[in-house]
Amino acid sequence: MDIHLYNTATRRKELFAPLDPENVRMYVCGPTVYDRAHLGNARPVLVFDILYRLLKTQYPRVTYVRNFTDVDDKINARAAESGRSIGEITAETSQWFLDDMGAIGALEPDHMPRATAYIAEMVEMIAGLIEGGFAYAREGHVLFRVREYARYGALSGRSVDDMIAGARVEVAPYKEDPMDFVLWKPSDDQTPGWDSPWGRGRPGWHIECSAMAKALLGDRFDIHGGGNDLMFPHHENEIAQSCCANGTEQMATVWMHNEMLQVEGKKMSKSLGNFFTVRDLLEQGVPGEVIRFVMLSTHYRKPMDWTEKKRAEAEATLRKWYGQVEGADAGQVPQAVMQALADDLNTPQAIGEMHQLAQNSDASALLASLRLVGLVADGVPAWAAATDADLSAYEAAFSTVRAEAMATKDFSKLDAMKQMLVAAGVEVKMRKDGVDLVAGPAFDPSKLEDL
């Protein structure tokens, strides 16, 4: 099956053609581990989890690498303020990340390298860049000469001069050019450091991913992904140093970037009081499958808005679907679902196709589709265990009343019926072509007697 992906580097959707069809190779920038993952951190994890699952259906081997940044100034600051060791903090927060991502159905990548385990590879790459004239050592620092890489800025579509004018670049006396970025920096006695030809120090952030990707995937690989906030400077810098160090025209063939997340239409921030972690939602009783469903309901290249309304609708839909597939045997994933995912990971369209499967009572195809997109693992989750309630007669009656209301523009009867259903603990989700009624956890059938 042909897979088409939007390539940020070329700004168009392209037919995916791996360098080696026997081993598709993908690198995704992972977390800096000093705290819990907030909801926005989960988006790239789920986007590339879907891509990983899709690729595994088409190719004999997929090598997926997602790193942990465990040497960083934020981690150093957290250690200083807490009095705990850096190793203790990063071990704990890395496991938190894996637990939380597992709770929303993300498969673990094939490799999860930690930056601190690849210092030797970083030093070797930096030494090669100096030898090639692409980098220079000054006052314990090593910096990359941006103007030595002619294609710098191609990914983000900016010229170097424009970037200097519009960016907050660090001006330092040891820099030859304001745009030059750090490959290695000195460490004091209180800061983690490693011996190097340029003195005791630690790597810059960008060189970490270049060295780990080269070690695990080679000089060139198929797909590099991450949030669009990483496009500049992180990914731009990765490309420059990797291509110069490895003598290649490309680092990755396809660059993919997901859009950011909002909450109730606003950017998530602590100052607005709408900042929360994945763990916060899980502890509030929001199932991981519901978090995943809401995330997948928006295309990855569009801003995703988390709302309470979407959460409630997602839970109602999943309860109904799980009730339909419980006890069923999985069949084949329908071609329509596969084609939606193969069209640049169009998860909203795939979910639309699954609504159709549910409407047609095709439990085996629905179950297969739920498994493919990670909404079912071994069986129906306990939180969605089916009740004995058969609400099909109420769905039919509600649909009839709704049709009458649309025709007469008198919605009083429809509103009254909806209020009675909600009061009985029934979740009501209206669609263009019908309605889904799902018995929620507080369902009380005695309250439906008057209806």
Annotation: binding site for Zn(2+): 29, 209, 234, 238
For residue 415, give the nearest of 397, 402, 399 by alpha carbon. Answer: 402
Bridge partners for 224 per DSSP: 27, 255
Please return the burial class of 138, using the count of CB atoms within 10 Å of its CB with bins 0-12, 13-18 and 19+: middle
**Cβ–Cβ < 8 Å for 30, 67:** yes
For the chain, what percentages of helix, strand and coil (3-state, to nearest 5) are there?
A: 45, 15, 35
Residue located via tokens 């030809």: 197
Angle at 229 between CA 69 and CA 250, to 5 degrees: 75
Secondary structure class of 221 (helix, strand, coil): strand
User: Is the bond into 113 cis (omega within 30 degrees of 0)?
Assistant: no
**What is the SS3 assignment for 227?**
strand
SS3 266: strand
What residues form DSSP beta bridges with 255?
A: 224
| SS3 (DSSP) at 180 | coil
The residues, ordered by sequence, that sit 6+ positions from 85 with a Cβ below 8 Å of its Cβ are 79
CA atoms within 13 A on the CB side of 230: 22
According to DSSP, the residues that pair with 14 across neighbouring strands are 5
Q: Which residues are annotated as a binding site?
A: 29, 209, 234, 238, 270
Q: What is the DSSP string of 78-143?
A: HHHHH---HHHHHHHHHHHHHHHHHHTTPPPPSB--BGGGGHHHHHHHHHHHHHTTSEEEETTEEE
* CB within 8 Å of 390: residues ≥ 6 apart: none
Task: Please report, in range form, the residues annotated as the binding site for ATP.
Answer: 270
β pairing state of 181-186 and 141-144: antiparallel
- How many Å apart are CA 263 and CA 257, to the nearest integer? 20
Query: Do the Cβ atoms of 143 and 174 come closer than 8 Å?
Result: yes
C-alpha distances in Å from residue 200, one per residue of 186, 191, 209, 343: 6, 10, 21, 49
Query: Nearest Cα to 275, choosing from 264, 286, 283?
Result: 264
